[in-house]
A and B are shown apart, each in its own frame.
Chain A
Amino acid sequence: MNHRATIRLLPATGRLHLNDGPIDLIIGADGSPTEIRTAYHAASRRFVTILDELCTELPILRSSIRAIAGSSALPGPTGSIAQCMAAVVSPYRHRCFITPMAAVAGAVAEAVLAVMTESSQLDRAYVNNGGDIAFHLSPGQSYKIGMVERPENPSLFGSIEIPFETPVRGIATSGWRGRSFSLGIADAVTVLAETAAQADAAATVIANAVDLPNHPAITRVPAREISPDSDLLDLPVTRDVGPLSAPEIAQALSSGAAVAQQLRAQPLIHAAALCLQRHALLVPVCGGGLLRPSVVPSPRCATNERYFVTASQPVSLLSRCPTEDRPCPK
C-alpha cells in the first residue's frame, strides 16, 4: 500500500486531484455522477501504484533510447507505462538524444485516462499532468483548451477548440521555463497529437529545436550541475534567455517550426504552437506566419504592471486551411 499518495476532490469544481511524489494530476470528467464516481475510483486505484512502477525501472527510463534500442545488454522497460514512454520516443532516436523520460508526464496521464474510460461511460474526461493532458471525447463533445505562454504569468495567449471529429486526444507543452529542463529557448511549445505521450515527446523535441546556438544572451548549464541525477547528463540546459531581437526570435522559432513540420509529415503530431518572447508561430502555419501580437495591459493585472498577449486573431490550431501548410487567406 502506498501511503504517500494523496487523493482528494477539489472544492467547487469537483475535479479529482491525485498527487504522489512528483506526479500531480488534475482530473475532470463529465457524465452522470455515478459514472464520474466510478471513473474517479478507477483512476485513484490505478494511480497509487504508478510512481512505484516507474521508479523500479528508473535507470533504464533515464537511458538514451538509442542505447536501449541498440544494446542487448540493456533490457527494454517492462511496465506498461514505461513501454509506452519508450515507444513514443523511439521515432526520435536517430534525430537527437532523448530518453523515455521525455514522455513520462503524457504517458502517465494517458494510463490514468485509460482506466477511467474503460470503467465508465463518460461524455468527456481529461487527465492533466502538469500541462500534459490526455483527454477523452464522446461524439458531439469538444474541449476548449487555453494556452499559457509563461507558467508564472498565467494568462491565456490563445485557445484551441478540439472537437470529437479530430484524432487529437493529447496535448503537451514544453519550454525552458517549465518544470523539466529544455535544451532550447522556447517559452512554450504546445503540441497536439493523437496521444498525450506522443504530444509530450514531440513537445520536448520541438522545444529543444527552438534555439539560437551560441547566442550570448542565453545562459546554459550542464543538466547535472543543477540536478545530479538528470537523464540529460551533461547536456547544456537553458537557465536564462535575455532579450532577443525580432529577427533572432523569428530565426529561433523557424528552426523549431521546421522540426515541427517534419514531425507533422510523419505524422507524429497534429499541430504545434511555438512561443518565444511574446511571439508565436503555428504549425500548420495559419494567419500569415509569425504572429505579431498586440501587447495590452491586462485589466486584471494593471496594478502590478503585468501584461498578457493577445493574438490579433483568435488562434485556432485546428482551423482547416484549404492549402494546409501554406498561409491561409486572411
Chain B
Amino acid sequence: MTEVFPKDTIRCDACPVLCYIKLGHTGACDRYGNLDGQLVRLDPHIVLDRAKSQGTPLVPFLEREGEWDGTLMKSPDTFVTAIGAGTTYPDYKPAPFIVSSEVEGVDMITVVTEGIFSYCGVKLKIDTDRHLGPERNLVRAQGEPVGHVTTAEYGSQMLSIGGVHHLTGGTKTEGRITCETLLDLCNGKEVALAIDDGASILVAAGKPPVVNGQQEQRMRVGCGSATIGMFAKQWFGKVDEVVVVDDHITGVLSEHQAGKMLGVRETGISIQGRRSTPGRYFQVAQPGTAWGGTNISDPLSILNPFKPKFAWPRLRLLMVSTTGEHFAYYLLDDSLRPIQKDLPPELHESVARMRENCEPALTTVLFMAGAGGSLRAGATENPVKLTDSVKHRLTRVTSGGAPAYVWPGGGITFMVDVSRMPENAFGYVPTPALVAPIEFTLKKADYAALGGHMDYVRPLDDVLREKQRQRQLTSSPQNPWPLRPSDDRDSHK
C-alpha cells in the first residue's frame, strides 16, 4: 500500500528505507518503481525449484537452519513459471518461453506466458457470520464500485470483485481503482472495502478479516439448531435451558429434539421469532455485527417473559452465540426474571469446546480469469486445440506453478488460490487489466500434435542460463509439482 506524498510521488513500503519515489523513477533498490503513480515491482523472471528434503536454494532466514546443506536443485526439479516471462499480447507470436525438460523419461513441454486479463476478478470468501451487506449491493474501494456481495456460503460471506464491467465498463477512476484492488488482493496485500448499506472491512488473502474494526476470530461450527444438537449432551444436567442465538436458526435446548431425547424438562421459555419446528426459530435476529453475526447486543431482548406455569425460580439459563465467542449465564429470580451471573466453571468447557470447533476465520482469495484467443495462440497455432487438450486433461494449467481449476465449458477460464502462488506474482497494465502468469504443461508429442510452436521450444537448461533475469524460488510444498508426468492429472487438488 502506498501513501500519496507530493504530486506523483509515492512512498514505497517494501522495506524500511521507505523511499519516496517520483513518477517514472525507481527506489534505492532499483527493484520497485513508480509507474503511472503506482508502486510496481520490476521483477526478474521467477523460476521455481522443487524443494527437496535437504535443501532449498531460497530459504527464509533460519526457517531451515541446520538443515541446509547448500546444494542446489537441477532440472527437472526446476519449473519455469510465467511470472515475469513477458507476454505476446496483442501479437500472435509464440509465447515468450516454451521450455522442454525431461521428466522421468517423458519429454515435457511447458508453455510459459504472462496473460493480460481484462476478463478477470477475484472471489473473496470471508469467514464470518457478521452481516457484511445485502446480497447484490455494491462493494467499494476508495469510494469506487469494484464489485458486489454475492451468494453467501456456509459460515462465510462472499464478495465478487473486479470483472470486465468494473475494469473497463465504468469511469476511468473506477477502472483504475478496481485494477489496484485486484492487484493488491492477488498479491496478498490488505485492502479496505466498504459495502453499500453494510460493513467496512479489511481483507487480505490468508488473513483473518476485520469487520467494522473488529478482527474475526472463528467460523461458526453450525447454525443455532445444529449447535444444540452437537452440544446437548455436554449441557445436560449442568444447565436447565440453552438458547443458541443465530440470525438463521436460533436453537432452544428444552424444545429441541436433542433436548427432548435427553429428557430435558420444559422451561416455559418463549422466544420472539417464527417457530419452524420445535426448538428451532427463524427471524429471531437480523444479520448484524453483534452477537454471533446478529444485530442482538442484549440477548434477553429476544425473550418473552417466562411462562409461570413451567418456569421456576433459580432456573439456570445459558445464552450463547454459534461461535461461543459471546455468552451470558442467568438465574431466574423469584418473579422469574433472568438475572445475569458469572458462567459456572462446569459450563466453561462446553463454551470453550464450541469455540475450538470453530475454525480460524480467514479471507481467501481465488483469482479467476479467462485465457483469450491470442494468449492461446501464443501456445499453439490452433488455439482451440489447446482448449481441447486442457479439457481432455492432456495439458495441465498452472498459474505461477500453483494448480488451477479449469471451469468446464468453452474457453480456458481458470481459478487459482493466490496464496499458493509465489509472492507478487501479479502485475498490471494501464488498460487497465491484470497481468497473471499462466503455464501450460503437456507431453512434447501432444504439443506437436496440437500445432505447437515446435521451432521455439528451448531446453530448460538453456532458459536457466539467462540468470540475470531470473529469480529462483522454492515451490510451495502444498502444490503438486507441475511437471509430474504420470500421477493423477487433477488440476485442482
Could you tell me which A residues sit within 8 Å of B by CB distance? 1-9, 11, 14, 20-22, 24, 37, 40-41, 44-45, 48, 51-52, 55-56, 58, 179, 225-229
Contact = CB atoms under 8 A, between A and B. Distances in A.
A227 B22 contact: yes
A12 to B, nearest CB: 8
A45 B25 CA distance: 32
A6 B58 contact: yes
Contacts of B463: none
A11 B61 contact: no
B261 interface: no
Given A1-B61, A1-B62, A9-B72, A227 B17 contact: no
B53 to A, nearest CB: 17
> Nearest 7 CB-CB pairs, A to B?
A21-B15, A55-B16, A22-B29, A228-B20, A22-B28, A8-B58, A229-B20
Contact of A40 (B25, B70, B467): B70
Given A1-B62, A179-B30, A37 B70 contact: yes
A229 B472 CA distance: 32
A4 B15 contact: yes
A2 B70 CA distance: 21
B19 interface: yes
Contacts of B25: 226-227
Nearest to B474: A8
A256 B464 CA distance: 42
B60 interface: yes
Contacts of A14: 70
B60 A3 contact: yes
Interface in B46-65: 57-62, 65
Contact of A22 (B20, B22, B27): B27
B75 to A, nearest CB: 11
A4 B25 CA distance: 22
A7 B9 contact: no
Given A8-B472, A179-B30, A51 B16 contact: yes
Interface residues of B, number: 29
B290 interface: no
A21 B57 contact: no
Contact of B59 (A8, A11, A37): A8
Contacts of B16: 21, 51-52, 55-56
B17 A228 contact: no
8 contacts: A8-B58, A8-B59, A11-B57, A45-B62, A55-B16, A227-B21, A227-B22, A228-B9
Nearest to A130: B30
A229 B19 contact: yes
A129 B435 CA distance: 33
A227 B20 contact: yes
Given A48-B61, A229-B19, A21 B467 contact: no
A21 B27 CA distance: 10
A159 B472 CA distance: 31
A225 B17 CA distance: 18
A11 B461 CA distance: 12
Nearest to B9: A228
B302 to A, nearest CB: 46
Contacts of B9: 228
Interface in B1-43: 5-6, 9, 14-22, 25, 27-30
Interface of B: 5-6, 9, 14-22, 25, 27-30, 57-62, 65, 70, 72, 464, 467, 472
A20 B60 CA distance: 12
Given A7-B61, A21-B29, A51 B6 contact: no
Contacts of A11: 57, 72, 464, 467, 472
A58 B20 CA distance: 14
Contacts of B19: 227, 229
Contacts of A227: 19-22, 25, 28
Nearest to A36: B70
A235 to B, nearest CB: 17
Nearest to B74: A11
Nearest to A101: B28
A37 B22 CA distance: 41
Nearest to B20: A228
B20 A2 contact: no
Given A4-B14, A228-B22, A21 B28 contact: yes
A7 B17 contact: no
A24 B29 CA distance: 8
Given A56-B16, A228-B9, 10 more contacts: A6-B58, A7-B61, A14-B70, A22-B15, A22-B17, A51-B17, A58-B17, A227-B20, A227-B21, A227-B28
Contacts of B15: 4, 20-22, 51, 55
A228 B9 CA distance: 8
Nearest to B25: A226
Contacts of B20: 227-229
A43 to B, nearest CB: 11
Contacts of B62: 1, 45
Contacts of A20: 15
A9 B70 contact: yes
Nearest to A48: B61
A134 B58 CA distance: 24
Contacts of B61: 1-2, 5, 7, 44-45, 48
Contacts of A41: 65
A5 B21 CA distance: 21
Nearest to B5: A228
A20 B16 CA distance: 10
Contacts of B14: 4, 21
A177 B145 CA distance: 45
Nearest to B14: A21
A202 to B, nearest CB: 21
A221 to B, nearest CB: 11
Nearest to A49: B61
A56 B18 CA distance: 11
A126 B34 CA distance: 34
Given A21-B14, A229-B20, A7 B59 contact: yes
Nearest to A21: B15
Q: Which one of B14, B58, B464 has the greatest number of beta carbons of chain A within 10 Å?
A: B58
A228 B14 CA distance: 17
Nearest to A6: B58
Contacts of A229: 19-20
A8 B22 CA distance: 31
